[in-house]
């Protein structure tokens, strides 16, 4: 089955700096890669996703890049703000199998220092 | 528009008791997912339904776990008998339909089995 590795496990940045979280996956057939943000006591919230026919996607201060050859994808947050502090999860899925199971990474705790 | 609703938000029970977790998906969504989150195993899919029919229950840990979706607006996850190792946060998520990638998570139920 799919295995997703996520790094780093914790990340501390100063407000205004950029943050980068990286994930690698094992199943070359995976073709859907969402990122979720989880705040304390809440469920994961989808913040951005990318599909295998796209190399990069951007939404305001958030961007995701995908390298299918190397089987890794990354989340980039620019101009970080204290409210970006949360746990971020990457995930991967092979949509073509008909399964809708998301395999999640272990999470990155991002702390933005004011 | 209300998101995914889960109840109870917290549940404390003794080993051997039956536990029932409840979920109401987003109105109009036809796919529903149950996830479990623990420190050791992270976020993992237990089961998902499409149009009230279980599609993939390969993540259900053992026969003590069962899930039902009697109608489009309600699902239950039952553990009988419960064990301390079942302690976790259980999330329900919904998706518009089987062809839609995005999954939207509820706030979760924190289950503690003593």
- How far apart are alpha carbons B24 and B26 in whole angstroms? 7
pLDDT above 90 coverage of chain A, percent = 82
Q: Cα separations (Å) of B46 from A66, A94, B2, B20?
A: 27, 17, 24, 15
B1 pLDDT band, cuts 50/70/90, is low
- At A43-66, the pLDDT tens digits run 999 999 998 877 899 999 999 999
- At B78-94, the pLDDT tens digits run 999 999 999 999 999 99
Closest partner residue to A104 (CB to CB) among B43, B95, B107 is B43
| B108 to A42: CB separation less than 8 angstroms, yes or no | yes
**A1–chain B Cβ distance below 8 A for any pair:** no
**Residue A108: its chain B contacts at CB < 8 A?**
none
Buried b (16+ CB within 10 A) or exposed e, A59-70: eeebbbbbeeee
Nearest CA in chain A to B106: A43
- The average pLDDT across B3-17 equals 97
pLDDT above 90 coverage of chain B, percent = 83
A95 pLDDT band, cuts 50/70/90, is confident
Residue B61: pLDDT over 90? no
- Residue B5 has a pLDDT of 97
**Residue A89: its chain B contacts at CB < 8 A?**
43
Burial class (CB in 10 A: 0-12, 13-18, 19+), B111: buried
């Amino acid at each position: 089955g799919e295995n997703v590795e996520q790094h780093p496990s914790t990340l501390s940045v100063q407000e205004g700096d950029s943050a980068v979280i990286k994930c690698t996956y094992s199943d070359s057939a995976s073709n859907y890669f969402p990122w979720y943000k989880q705040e304390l006591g809440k469920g994961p919230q989808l913040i951005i996703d990318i599909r295998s026919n796209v190399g990069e996607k951007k939404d305001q201060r958030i961007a995701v890049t995908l390298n299918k050859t190397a089987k890794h994808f990354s989340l980039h947050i620019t101009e970080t703000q204290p409210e970006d502090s949360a746990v971020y999860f990457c995930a991967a899925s092979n949509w073509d199998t008909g399964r809708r199971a998301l395999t999640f990474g272990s999470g990155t705790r991002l702390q933005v220092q004011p | 528009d209300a998101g995914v609703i889960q109840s109870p938000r917290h549940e404390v029970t003794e080993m051997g008791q039956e536990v029932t977790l409840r979920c109401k998906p987003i109105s109009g969504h036809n796919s529903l997912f149950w996830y479990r989150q623990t420190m050791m195993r992270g976020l993992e899919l237990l089961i998902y339904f499409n149009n009230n029919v279980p599609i993939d229950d390969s993540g259900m840990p053992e026969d003590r776990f069962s899930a039902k979706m009697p109608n489009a607006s309600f699902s239950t996850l039952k553990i009988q008998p419960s064990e301390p190792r079942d302690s976790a946060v259980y999330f329900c998520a919904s998706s518009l339909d089987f062809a839609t990638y995005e999954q939207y998570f509820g706030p979760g139920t924190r289950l503690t089995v003593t």
